[in-house]
Amino acid sequence: MIEAELKARVHNSEYVMGQLDQRAEGRAEVYQDTYYDDPSRSLDTQDQELRVRTIHGPNSTRSVLTYKSARIDSVSGSKPEHETRVDNPEAVHAMLRGLGYLPVIEFQKRCRNYEFSSYGRNLLATLVQVPEIEGVFLEIETMVSEGGELTAALDDVRSVMRELGIHEDDFTTELYTDAVAARRAPDAGSTPPV
């Protein structure tokens, strides 16, 4: 499956949340993400991702293992994705380490998820705040089975974004992993010498 997804910076989160609340009931969840790579960082070099995510909701906690291969659309950053639920995330962490993978970055995402249908597609819209990154983001995704469907799916996602008040110049392909890593860099908060 291919995750057809667009991400944008949100300038008026109350307005966007109000628009989403009219489409579906929001679900507040906290994601704890751990990204893995081998010591040579070959996954990152090949634009691939290997992640264990634990999702804490108001009434339950669940975990998933996700592998994303290289992006097939540079404008949106959309990637083929394979994901499965795991009953024992600690065992999965141990397996990945045993196979030689190392956790390269861990961080938290505070999300409000909305599931609804539009343009004949099942969509997941997520308002995201990452404590270490300034601002609020909106991600909207739908899954397609092959690359030929990607353009039409992204057009539909873009239309929903517009309906929610998102403008073309709000879109971003910046990765949370990169933004968090940059924020944690030793010189991130230092002032250059005069």
User: 131: domain CATH number?
Assistant: 2.40.320.10
Amino acid at 188: A
What CA–CA distance (Å, rounded) separates 4 from 117?
A: 15
Q: Is 193 within a domain? A: no
* Single pTM value for the model: 0.91
Q: Is 133 within a domain? A: yes
Q: Is 146 within a domain? A: yes
Contact predicate 30/109, CB 8 Å: yes
Q: Is 13 within a domain? A: yes
Q: Give strand ranges (E) for the chain.
A: 2-10, 27-37, 49-56, 61-68, 79-86, 102-118, 121-129, 136-144
The domain total for the chain is 1
159-160-163-166 Cα dihedral, nearest 10 degrees? -90
What CA–CA distance (Å, rounded) separates 179 from 174?
A: 7
pLDDT tens digit string along 24-73? 999 999 999 999 999 999 999 999 999 999 999 999 999 999 999 999 99
Q: Is 191 within a domain? A: no
Q: Is the pLDDT of residue 20 over 60?
A: yes
Contact predicate 147/127, CB 8 Å: no
pLDDT tens digit string along 108-123? 999 999 999 999 999 9
Q: Is the pLDDT of residue 193 over 50?
A: no
Q: Is the pLDDT of residue 183 over 60?
A: yes
What CA–CA distance (Å, rounded) separates 9 from 30?
A: 19
Q: Which domain holds residue 47?
A: 2-184
Q: Is 190 within a domain? A: no
pLDDT confidence of residue 189: 55
What CA–CA distance (Å, rounded) separates 32 from 16?
A: 24
User: Which of 1-10, 83-92, 138-147 is least confident?
Assistant: 138-147
Q: Which of 24, 30, 31 is nearest to 114 (CA)?
A: 24
What CA–CA distance (Å, rounded) separates 29 from 166?
A: 23
pLDDT confidence of residue 192: 46
Q: Is the pLDDT of residue 188 over 90?
A: no
Q: Is the pLDDT of residue 191 over 60?
A: no
Q: Which of 92, 104, 105 is nearest to 39 (CA)?
A: 104
Mean pLDDT of 171-187: 93
Contact predicate 52/93, CB 8 Å: yes
What CA–CA distance (Å, rounded) separates 2 from 39?
A: 27
pLDDT confidence of residue 131: 96
Q: Is 97 within a domain? A: yes
Q: Is the pLDDT of residue 129 over 80?
A: yes
Q: Which of 47, 48, 181 is nearest to 106 (CA)?
A: 181
Q: Is 194 within a domain? A: no
